[in-house]
Structure 1
Amino acid sequence: MNDTTHLADRHTGRARGGGAATAAPPAPGGPSPVPVAKRPRRPRSGQWTAWGFLAPVTVYLAVFYAYPLYRNLDLSLRDYTVRSFVEGDAPFTGLANYRTILHDPAFEPALIHTVVFTVASLLVQYVIGLALAVFFNQYFRLSATLRALFLVPWLLPLIVSASTWSWMLNSDSGVVNAALHAVGIGPVQWLTSPSWSLASVIIANIWIGVPFNLVVLYSGLQAIPAALYEAAALDGASAWQRFRHITFPLLRPVSAITLLLGLIYTLKVFDIIWIMTKGGPADSSTTFATWSYRLGFGNLVPAFGPGAAVGNLLVVTALCFGLLHVRAQRKQHLS
């Protein structure tokens, strides 16, 4: 064994022993060593750029979402008064505010009104929006113009829409009662009768929410290949069969997100109800949103803790439905 062999064995043992992984010098006349590839380091400038893009969104979410939610949770767990806000000595009461609203006589009517208002608005908005989307999916000359006109209720400020409906449904001078009188129907106390006040605000909310459903569902219809409808027509499928077996199944993902966003929006509707009826008469149109506002700001002695507790119930409800939607989407992707 010559000196060259001893030198190669020495370098090989050093590499196996955990030392520096350096290639052994080649034997005279042997092949050139293969260089060891080094892992490239990620440039730090790219990391700072990524954090720079994330910083505005993070600050926005922290300031306008995380902190208000924390403050609302803190309000619901303490006995806050006007004096407490100034001196900052509100005692911790735990779940006492939640027990207070659960035993309040106004809780059950407000819960029923919230469910009826939300479910009725969602269903009617979706059905009308889907029907209009299917109608406008068939191209004709004034299609774009009419779609733009249908967006007007969605673009108007809520205070304008609610004030307009309040004037239209006025018992004495409203155009709705005038039209009913023209066909021989007596006047309806839309805003002053406990039997009609909730229906009045539901009608106004449906009118405002239909354009949103129209836009989203129309976009979903545009993504369905036209070849499917052509093949179904060649097989003799009627218009209803094409809608039932092609349009509606393929529109389910878009329908799910439309209903979810509509649910979150409808749960927190306050402006329309407060402007039109203020939750009355006799709390006949009071929902959790208006009840929360009335507890916190509508009394001479504000109850900030119970008002925040009612608001948190709405937040938890919307969060639960959002999580159910995410879980359903995840199962759909896995399947």
Structure 2
Amino acid sequence: MKKILVTGGLGYIGSHTVVELQKNGFEVIIIDNLSNSSEDVLKGIHSISGITPIFEKLDLKEKTKVSEFFDRNSDIDGIIHFAASKAVGESVEDPLLYYENNLNTLVYVLQECKKHQIKNLIFSSSCTVYGEPDSLPITEEAPVKKATSPYGNTKQISEEIIFDLCSVSDLKAIALRYFNPIGAHETSEIGELPLGVPLNLVPFVTQTAAGVREQLSVFGEDYPTVDGSCVRDYIHVVDLAKAHVISLKRLLEGKNTTSFEVFNLGTGRGSSVLEVIKAFEKVTHQKLNYKIVDRRPGDVISVYADTKKANNVLGWKTEGSMEDALLTAWNWEKKVRNIK
């Protein structure tokens, strides 16, 4: 049984990936500092998979403790690295926090990979590396543009750091550039539970429907899109989790063609904010209180993926529809809020 370390494994995407790893026979160790997650997530993972993964509360910024952890767990076969701060607005307000938390921690993990000859790494990247695209859909060959936020910049720099290490060592890595993950596990045992005010659209939608938020703001109605609102590529989180397992197997089986590979993970379809709202109302029979407000500074107009590389090379494709994802997100929200 291969032993896989998942950093940030109690977070939204991390927890769903842990479930898929365990379903595929991997032994999982989770590191998480619980800054944006809860230890209760372990119960949800166990409820779905029947297995409680090993968990160690650890802040990856603490270099000595990171080193001690790897000395105790030097038999790790691969790492999926999710641990990072991810709020664009917060990164603009406190860039040093993001550079320390997202870059230093990656360097410490990579130093341990080198020291202990851990050769397989999956990195949680983002479509933010593309900025405002020149053309749509976005392929992996699209230029990486100057980041519009410190958060986006940490993803760009992280990819460069990993690429540089792969060039001079035995490390093999895959960077997965996500588009917009939404939804929850069909069991409603795990899902997206942001601490504080949600920064992403769908949890704000579900919290508005649940009465936690009074009103949902739609930022802008005059963009050059189908209905004037911004367009994004919304991917079911379970599909995203499955792509991590497929990518990990690719490395473990030596099927990678270069030491550093990049794949876009999306549906290949763009949906506007207003289309998401209408789809949510249709599938859940909930009327949303929303209001059109002014554009939000820094918002990209339209972003969606070209997924042919992931489809053809990884043999991966999305299975869950946006409606599926929205319904699971609502069912999760109802469970968390005890709504019947």
- TM-score w.r.t. the length of structure 2 is 0.23
- TM-score w.r.t. the length of structure 1 is 0.23
Tell me which of the two structures has the higher relative contact order, counting C-alpha pairs closer than 8 angstroms and 6 or more residues apart.
1
Tell me which protein shows more strand as a share of its residues.
Answer: 2
Tell me which protein shows more helix as a share of its residues.
Answer: 1
